[in-house]
Amino acid sequence: MNVIKTKLKDCVIIEPEIFGDERGFFLETFQLSRYADLADISLPFVQDNYSRSSKSVLRGLHFQKKKPQGKLVRVVRGEVYDVAIDIRPDSQTFGEWEAVILSDKNKKQFWIPPGFAHGFLVLSDIADFEYKCTDYYNPSSEYGIRWNDSDVNIDWGVISPHVSQKDSKLPFLKDQKIKFSRYRRKNIYL
């Protein structure tokens, strides 16, 4: 597998090795020792999620303050523009973002560690999105950043995506006091 570093420390793009012929293909979507050695992903995954969305749906930008989740994301059908924002208060790249196109064709994965907000925009007619999480979903800890925050200035490539009512009312990054609970695993502090 090929690991591509991004401008955001600890956030990486993974290109898995694909074995294919005229019959189809095979690839490993996760293998603990390989991902720990090559991509420095060693937090345990405790929950897998699957979603389906239609074209121009924008989901995000979400994060949890208590028990922040790391996410290993991929698309199994269709194509999305996937975005991570560094919201770790002491990070040199606080407020900066990274994006990658994830699709069933390129089979790339995006590792978004705890301490990042995450969202995606569907580019294809339908997209099936899967992600592994390092902590359980906690609705009382869910927060977010408005998708069109001018200070973050994400270039989504669209003017009017289909955004849920809840996501359209998320606060801007400057209006939040982000202070994460100490992350308990592997002495990682956010």
Strand partners, 5: 12
Q: Give the tokens for residue 95.
A: 């407020």
DSSP letter (8 states) at residue 43? S
How many residues in the chain? 190
Distance CA 164, CA 149 (A): 16
Strand partners, 21: 24
Burial 73-84 (b: 16+ CB within 10 A, else e): bbbeebbbbbbb
Is 62 tagged catalytic? yes
Q: Give the tokens for residue 46.
A: 């405790």
Q: Residue type for 170, please? A: L
Catalytic residue among 35, 81, 131, 183: 131
Catalytic residue among 35, 62, 81, 118: 62
Rounded to the nearest 5 degrees, what angle is found at the Cα of 27, between the Cα atoms of 52 and 47? 50
Q: Is 81 helix (H, G, I), strand (E, B) or coil?
A: strand
Active site residues: 62, 131
